[in-house]
Structure 1
């Protein structure tokens, strides 16, 4: 039992463990470097330091003192968040306290593999594997060497075995300690550890006194301080929040007395110990030793793999289904999908064709390569439509490839379009595909068909027609169940538009908690980004209605903008919601309409409820990327959605500029008028690599496209190029 556990834990987690170990070893150098440059803390009270920094650092919000003795001041000045290292004795600002880009990169790699919560769970699983590996490895080593009493005896055998055993004995305890402390820290991140509650209190309302005179701070040695957060200026009833090595409390700024205090519990103390042992903060030498031990992990992985080389399993429990290469397939199945739904239909078709004896290659339309389809007898194209008849994400460049064909493929094609008949360009991209193929002289296998709103009946009807055309039986298995709807509870709403007979609301829903199992299995209401879609299922109808999300899961809520449509079932039900009510909904990814993480400027253009995802991009713009918003509404006093937020985001630097147009005022204007007014600036931003993102009604989007064609290139080629490069995207309705 021990040997299989050790073997499969090692083989399954070798790569991830090597990545986390090497990044952890690199990170262990930073606490050591900080310890070498650290200076002793002055023998003063926390109150003296707070008073000194309050006078020398404008906009001071928080002071932190690390276990190694470093002092950092956090401030907010002129709309920018600043962080400084300071001299505790003089209060003098020494330098900006910014972690290097490399350190941030290593930290994200080490903690989550750049995959957010899912990556954290993968790292936790790898840490559990590491713990299992070290314990089982020590047991196997003792068995191999003749018992626990001979655990330190010299190893014999091939070099790979000796090196594996020696490194395991040398670093095993340190690796087990790193894994155990990492698991503990992750448990705290996911809220699995008990939290210490705070008693209630009432703060005074008199003007704040100097921190140096406050009893709670005057008698506190600076070495015991960990964090002091100042009250927000002008916020009545706000207090000082104090965290020390002994506990957490709140201080009345008027009297300087402690209003409430809670001593650190056992989980807090263990958390501090785990942080020190895992990161080396406050124990730099130990951190370096753990870092050195981590360097053995890749070597242990390689030597372990070397010992497994040549070994064969005793028997085969089953046969793995292998992907069919395009050169070997008689059926090529190309998929153009935006949110992933069309891939599900493609998989059902692939399985049916395979059961009928066909060899099927499945790939994205963007990977269209007819020169590789050596044995193909048919090419089946399942194409969804994005925006106003545009190519979906996995079909970019397909039309250009077809248009440049010197010779049409010998295998005939068939097109099945996917879309929503509520939109004017229903299956518009599929029609463009068919027209381009016919213009290239490509023979058509059968008449095209369309699937409306993911209808399984429409799909099954086309599959039966395909089976008749091929003269074979195609048996479609039932579609796998989609994600279970989740009940979302409304926590707040902001109403607009009553004055112009267009009731509109910003609805904010609480995020349901996800259990640890749901996180591991990818279930529940998972992570999302602004621009993804919330599929709401109204009462009395199973067909979902899609709303663009104006928030990301990191904001802690799901927010959408809704306008009530006459006779609209879903919009009517949403507009009738009161805080505490709930709706059924599921998430649908919309990766083509994400802001992305690069630093290129964004030109955001929207009207009405189309501002939803654009507001979400601004809210999440903590890196202060240049975002330029053009927003159209009816009147400023009735339906300027997110009006107060836009002002604040511009002050914070999350929005570089905001331009608004109102269609029901004396100066009647639309967003396309604003673009023409700012033609020079828009052209300059595009030349600097800016992306353009448009969200709102189709008429608005059409007017915006015409304005941009006039601004960028009278022939319209520039806009076509931007679309092909993914620098012009739309989310229209």
Structure 2
């Protein structure tokens, strides 16, 4: 009798656990509630679905409602009703969509929906060993854009699970409500740099204080190009080299090119309503001492590299946007056609 009662108790406990898991999954995979972010995956091997799940969890723990869906189950009407959507799209073979995308593409072509009320972003997975890299992700991006949807950020390409590109995507999740305090899925492989100088660029400006940050590499400096990104660890450099760094990195556009002999950034000091400085900007503009070690990694950003010399270049920016624009101007050859339009309060 005791074994029977114990067995019944065990079965009851398993049923309760199963019901809890089912309800949690059902909440995610049900039709989107008002205000929920649709997180949609088109997966062939499971990588896209795993990244979509991680993206959904990042939004959920930050307080956003989420509906996690396979692209196979998504209808054009669902997208038209949604306010925000994230797409994680794999490409298979020589540029083909995953198997579960065929039904969606057929439904989309028939419906020709108006998606003018949709904000979206695309994470495209691929392999540069194939000729048509991330082809389906780009095709999906064009499809959404042509239907009137508004991209919140540029498409992010991921080559064979590149950790830097995934950190870029994780940064983009903040535009949909993810907390900036969430740890990196995979920490950058940092190099050691020295804070060589810090200069206030806009005294008496109506905007917040903006600083020129100068860094020199403690070892052999890596190569980079105008348009690339500095991933900075916003704390004690020794912590950055631990197996699990405590703090998430912060992204900054590079303001210099390697020929200048140092790495430059332009950073505005952010303060919240209570006067506390931002994690990254406070570290670079206030807390780090001149001569201190800074842990930094350079992430290639090929979609924003300087165009060929024969292409005329118009650069438009404001505030700290001057950082990457300056790097592009420095990368251009003498005699090229360039026009900079810039403003600062």
Give the alignment's TM-score, normalised by structure 1: 0.25
Instruction: Please state which structure has a larger fraction of its residues in strand.
Output: 2
Give the alignment's TM-score, normalised by structure 2: 0.48
Instruction: Please state which structure has a larger fraction of its residues in helix.
Output: 1
